[in-house]
Structure 1
């Protein structure tokens, strides 16, 4: 049987999901923006810092009052608190705390550890300090009207801190694709449940939900269903009711019996195919009530690899996230591959630029995939490679 090239199916999935690329940004509170991607540059509405303040605990002085070491009368005490301090009188110093507003007239701060305060209300300063010492000028970090954060940035805690410092409470971010994930198979039970004869834990649901979230998708439904067409179709209806824009399924698309996804969607026009790849040969795409459905094999490595190949690139593009990194490495040992199939072998990168394979090509080896940090991409026309051959790897 002729198998479809991987690139051809990539094109099919991309065409099916193309409408998802046209979407408007949404406005979210800064407190809920962690991990979201900015849709537009953010301009600071204020100077940062917003006022002239002290970088140290110490004494604010007029540097001209101390052309040489000496002492000054302590005329004021300035905490880091609301309000504007009185101007500093010439020939005096003001005890000041870190972050406190520097009084008009002062142009330097002497750190407390370089001073000695006496009981008579004076402070002795043993060194000469120049204007600007330990003074944070207003706008020295960023001026009002300047760009604070660029478009396309995935927001982390430090970015949220900068937004809050500028008094910004909401931002425009790229909207997230709303995804439903459905695992099929009568043998599946929830992770953590006791396994009876012939039962396995559903790892596909866990993996696909996490993978979609990792590329900024929003999960609106996660379901598991036995091999029953009515039950599966009911879960598809639930995904539509949950406002899903994309449904991902695992299992049920091979050529045997009890293939609930194929049996349900093929009569409605689904394209069910076998690709020239390992793992992950069986693949399908469909539309259910106008919503795209991308169907992956049930074997867990196949399911995870299929998401990485066919769905993740477009979700990354929509979220304005960088492509997955690909690096050329050198095989540490010879390998064989199935000619006519594009193989994705699990591998571990070595410090010297080499890569070693982990486990075999089988699609059930989840522990080997968990131990891997790269996939080794072997083209369809390659049957064997010697040690030292260059291969393309995809970083996991």
Structure 2
């Protein structure tokens, strides 16, 4: 005969342990978005203590967060050089108007030119070092004749009067030696790596990539490509979140799909704990009687709350055996919005990668409604005329609309409706 506990176990579950009256938690806290962000920051901050860094060649630093401040070891440009193809001159030689000067020795790029003799103009190429004594460059098209003379020919050129410093790039005018070139925490993209190379820097200190264990739960979920029987759905969360996390600079370990068994989930977490920095789960966080993530975390400091956001309200946050845990809802759009709102921005803040989402103001191409007590995040498309169109409805299962969208539309708490033409904040995704 089955015990009372066995009789309470619903069919199709892997024997989760139902809570007794004594185990039931107090009513859930309702949190604002900003308060939950602060709570997630507190949970993630230990990942920086002690700092885990590595020194890598510049090209291997692409997409990483800089873990040191770079002081320029040299001036950029390293010498005064010409901004144009033209003639290097002494401005005082032409101070009285157009004048004719003798053509001096040319100054090719990559060579140290001879000092400029008074009364002469030296042919010079873009980027070439300015000859000593020259203080201006006159573009070739302003010269008469508008061409360089044949090398070695004794000739003259007529030029207009220049202003001292015209078309000259002064030494250190971009970055001076000793200046801060890049601050600690900078995201290292192609532009930043280009600066490092120009400064002669070959290696940089970066934050090590954090490793996240990604866990999707649910008896109803099957891996794409597996035989799908009635009542089952193909898993999208693993792919959706792994792609997002890898794009954000994380190393992702997929635990696969964990059935609704607290014992199985706990064993998976314990097995991976020594090798990971963070756990992200999807599903099993709502208020049902048999939510596997809630059941697994009964003996661990993980709080479950409801955040004032739609979609993505149910959230879990804490640690399992000392490893930070973020428990996201199971619907695909909900888990992605949770990542975008609560994890991705803080990764950039703590580790310098990824870069923040570009945020703009745009006008709605249609009216919308929103629950006034929640921060609603809708999916949308930015149109060529600069307005934004809603894509799909409010549902957290609408993957087709999510795939077609290119912006997230934010409607803050306190707003219940907006008319066509009103402004909203959008994030480009």
TM-score range, shorter chain: 0.7 to 0.9
Alpha-carbon spacing, 1:86–1:250, altered in 2? closer, same or farther (3 Å): same
CA change 1:331–1:92 in 2 (3 A) is: closer
Q: Of 114, 124, 144, which residue of structure 1 is paired with 2:177?
A: 144
Q: Is the contact between residue 227 and residue 259 of structure 1 (CA under 8 Å) also seen in structure 2?
A: no
Q: Matched residue of 2:188: which SS?
A: coil
Matched, 1:295 2:307: no
Name 2:6's counterpart in structure 1.
none
User: 2: distance between equivalents of 1:387 and 1:118?
Assistant: 70
- Corresponding residue pairs, total: 386
TM-superposed deviation, 1:138: 1.9
Evaluate the alpha carbon distance shift between residue 267 and residue 92 of structure 1 in structure 2; reply closer, same or farther with a 3 A threshold: closer
From 341, 361, 364, the counterpart of 2:394 = 361
Query: CA–CA distance in 2 between the matches of 1:93 and 1:277?
Result: 69
Could you tell me which residue of structure 1 aligns to residue 241 of structure 2? 208
Q: Which residue of 2 aligns with 1:6?
A: 31
Q: How does 1:74-223 map to 2 (within 5 A)?
A: 74=104, 76-81=105-110, 83-90=111-118, 92-113=120-141, 114=143, 115-116=146-147, 117=149, 121-130=153-162, 131-173=164-206, 176-185=209-218, 187-190=221-224, 193=225, 196-197=228-229, 200-212=233-245, 217-223=249-255
- Residue 69 (str. 1) matches residue 99 (str. 2): yes
* Residues 315-353 of structure 1 deviation map (CA, whole Å, 9 limit, x = unaligned): 34324676985979889546374x9x7463525488999
Deviations 1:261-315 (A, max 9, x none): 4454445565556667653354334533321222222210121223344434543
Cα root mean square deviation, aligned: 4.4
Quick one: structure 1 residues 133 and 373, their matched pair in 2 at CA, closer, same or farther if it must change by over 3 Å?
closer
Residue deviations 1:64-85 (CA, integer Å, cap 9, x gap): 56675335255x343222x533
Question: Which whole-Å deviations, capped at 9, do the CAs of 1:165-188 have from their partners, x for residues lacking one?
Answer: 122233445565442322334633
Counterpart of 1:20 (choices 32, 47, 60) is: 47
CA gap 1:305/1:111 in 2 versus in 1, 3 angstroms = closer
- Structure 1, residues 114-158: CA drift from partner, whole Å, max 9, x if none? 244258703432223435443333223332222333455433322
Offset from partner CA, 1:209-229 (integer Å, 9 cap, x none): 344456x55224234234275
| 8 Å contact kept, 1:182–1:222 | yes
Encode CA deviations 1:184-242: one digit per residue, 9 max, x unaligned.
Answer: 3463325xx4774455443322332344456x552242342342757645643564343
Unaligned runs of 5+ in 2: 1-25
Distance 1:286 1:53, change over 3 A: closer
| Structure 1 residue ranges without an equivalent (≥5) | none
Normalization by structure 1: what TM-score?
Answer: 0.75
Which structure 2 residues correspond to residues 278-357 of structure 1 after superposition, within 5 A?
A: 278-319=310-351, 333=367, 335=369, 337=371, 342=374, 344-348=376-380
Give how far 1:362 is off.
Answer: 2.5
TM-aligned CA distance change 1:54 to 1:364, over 3 Å: same
Deviations 1:339-390 (A, max 9, x none): 9x746352548899997754333221122334263345475x99x6585899
Distance 1:54 1:196, change over 3 A: same
Distance 1:306 1:347, change over 3 A: closer
Tell me, in whole angstroms, the C-alpha distance in 1 between the residues paired with 2:150 and 2:360.
66
Superposition TM-score, scaled by structure 2 size: 0.70
User: Does the aligned pair in 1 maintain the 2:138–2:159 contact within 8 Å?
Assistant: no
Distance (Å, rounded) in 2 between the aligned partners of 1:357 and 1:33: 38
